[in-house]
Amino acid sequence: MDYTIEEIARLYSALQVNKTQWFEHLQRPYNIKDINQAEEEIRTIEPLMEKVKKDYLSHGGDPSALL
């Protein structure tokens, strides 16, 4: 399935928001389980973000728009 460049940018943005929320969660964990979960979620999100970023750039997207 092909996505438009705008859809790819929205997906990247949504992943960034999710990653940021997990980083915030690390700042105020309730217990070690919360820390482990947040770290795992971040490790899962980061490669997805790279894949989406590469796809965005391959479609001619502006890299500065993904900051």
pLDDT given for residue 5 in this prediction: 93
**Which residues of the chain have a pLDDT value below 70?**
1
The pLDDT assigned to 45 comes to 98
Q: Alpha-carbon distance 2 to 18, whole Å?
A: 23
- Nearest residue to 20 (alpha-carbon basis) of 33, 34, 38, 32: 38
Contact yes or no for 57/66 (Cβ under 8 A): no
- 8 in Cβ contact with 65 (< 8 Å): no
| Closest listed residue to residue 5, CA positions, set 46, 18, 13 | 13
